[in-house]
Amino acid sequence: VKILGLSIVVGLGIVIGWWWTRDDVAPTPATQPSQHSRRTAATQPSPRSLTSRSSVTSTRPTLAQQPLPTLEPAEVDPARRERQEELWRALRAFATDAELTDAQWEQFQRDLSELAALESATMRDAIATGNFDGIVDLSNELELELELRCAAYLTKRQVSALRFRFDGLVTRVRRLYYVPQFAPRT
């Protein structure tokens, strides 16, 4: 009986001790965010953080990971399709007149699409939260980022042609090709 009583006291002590210190121990796997969700958060672009040039460039995926995006008109809505075609003609005219090689043209499309997708992600976030602060500044920065990226593989004359022909090009592509989407919750 004595041994039993002692065991109960010791057992109760252990339980109370565990309960008292449970906040200090590491969370159980069930309470931790899943590896998948953490990885997603780390790899998806975080538009709000894109306030410095380094952060913009650091989100750039390698070419091997990127499918080749095309800005060829594919919209079904006739009015938007017409505007896509207009932009496409302007882009092709730039490529032809500035004598872009195929490789330059493909890289240019990649950069333009990627930055437009980033702006779209930022807009999506803004629409979801209703907070549009800093969006225009970020868009201006993305325009500058496009020019800087292009300077790495286009000649000065080609970059001048780009500057001459387009204003707000990243935003224009975002508006016509990367309209933020929301799915209904089910």
Partner 1 sequence: VLAGVLSVGLVPKVGQTEVIQVRGCAPGWTMHEAGDDWWCVADWPDSGGGGGGGGGGTGGSGADELGGGATGGGDSGPVRQNGWDDETWQEAKRRWKCGLCKKSAAKCASQAHTKENRCLQDAKAQALWRCNVLERRKQEVPTVTAFGCSIDHHARGLCTVSERPWNDPSIWSYECRSVSTDFRDRTKPEYKCIGDGVYNCEQSWALSHPGGSAQTVDSGTLSALFEGFGGTASKTVTANYTLSPMQGYIKSCTDAGDALARACNEQRDACYEQYKCGQGDM
Minimum Å gap between C-beta 148 and partner 1 is 15
Using CB under 8 A, which residues numbered 73 to 132 contact partner 1? 79-80, 83, 126-127, 130, 132
**Closest CB to partner 1 among 6 and 90?**
90
> What are the CA-CA distances from residue 34 to residues 29, 77, 178 (Å)?
8, 40, 29
Do 85 and 75 touch, CB atoms closer than 8 A? no
**Which amino acid, one-letter code, is at 30?**
A
Q: Tell me the number of residues near partner 1 by CB under 8 A.
A: 30
Decide if residue 171 touches partner 1 (CB under 8 A).
yes
Per-residue binding string, partner 1, 30-69, x by CB under 8 A, is: ----------------------------------------
- CA 178 to CA 139: how far, in whole Å? 14
Burial of 120 (0-12, 13-18, 19+ CB in 10 A): buried
Q: Which of 15, 136, 141, 148 touches partner 1 by CB under 8 A?
A: 136
Q: Which residues contact 148 (CB under 8 A, 6 or more apart)?
A: 53
Q: What residues line the site for partner 1 (CB under 8 A)?
A: 79-80, 83, 126-127, 130, 132, 135-136, 139-140, 157, 160-161, 163-165, 167-168, 171-172, 175-176, 179-182, 184-186
